[in-house]
Amino acid sequence: MNILDHKVCVAPMMQYTDMHDRYLLRLISKKVFLYTEMIATGSLVYGRCFDQLEFNKEEHPIGVQLGGSDIKDLIECSKKCEDYGYNEINLNCGCPSDRVQKGRFGACLMLEANHVAECLSEMQNAVEIPVSIKCRLGIDHHESYEFLYDFVSKVKESGTKIFIIHARNGILKGLSPRQNRNIPPLKYDYVYKLKKDFPDLEIIINGGIKDLDESKNHLNKVDGVMIGRCAYDNPFMLKDVENKFYNENPIIESKKEILNKYLDYVEIKISEGHNLPKMLKHLFGLSRGDKNAKIFRLKIIEAMKENSIQPFRKELDDLLVY
Q: Which residues form the interface with ligand FMN (CB under 6 A)?
A: 11-16, 37-38, 65, 92, 94-95, 134, 166, 181, 206-209, 227-230
Q: How far is the CB of 83 from ligand FMN (least distance, A)?
A: 22
Which residues in 53-86 are b (16+ Cβ under 10 Å) and which e? bebeeebebbbbbbbbbbbebbbbbbebbbeeeb
Q: How far is the CB of 78 from ligand FMN (least distance, A)?
A: 17
Q: Which is nearer to ligand FMN, 61 or 67 (CB)?
A: 67
Q: How far is the CB of 310 from ligand FMN (least distance, A)?
A: 30
Q: Which is nearer to ligand FMN, 19 or 320 (CB)?
A: 19
Q: Is 108 a catalytic residue?
A: no
Q: Which is nearer to ligand FMN, 14 or 293 (CB)?
A: 14
Q: How far is the CB of 118 from ligand FMN (least distance, A)?
A: 20
Q: How far is the CB of 313 from ligand FMN (least distance, A)?
A: 28
Point out the catalytic residue in the list 81, 93, 95, 119.
95
Three-state SS annotation for the chain: CCCCCCCEEECCCCCCCCHHHHHHHHHHCCCCEEEEEEEEHHHHHCCCCHHHHCCCHHHCCEEEEEECCCHHHHHHHHHHHHHHCCCEEEEEECCCCHHHHHCCCHHHHHHCHHHHHHHHHHHHHHCCCCEEEEECCCECCCCCHHHHHHHHHHHHCCCCCEEEEECCCECCCCCCCCHHHCCCCCCHHHHHHHHHHCCCCEEEEECCCCCHHHHHHHCCCCCEEEECHHHHHCHHHHHHHHHHHHCCCCCCCCHHHHHHHHHHHHHHHHHCCCCHHHHHHHHHHHHCCCCCHHHHHHHHHHHHHHCCCHHHHHHHHHHCCC
The number of beta carbons lying within 10 Å of the beta carbon of residue 199 is 9
Q: Which is nearer to ligand FMN, 64 or 209 (CB)?
A: 209
Q: Which is nearer to ligand FMN, 90 or 287 (CB)?
A: 90
Q: Which is nearer to ligand FMN, 6 or 134 (CB)?
A: 134
Strands across the sheet with 162-166, in order? 8-10, 224-227, 202-206, 162-166, 131-135, 88-93, 62-67, 34-40
Q: How far is the CB of 212 from ligand FMN (least distance, A)?
A: 13
Residues labelled as active-site residues: 95
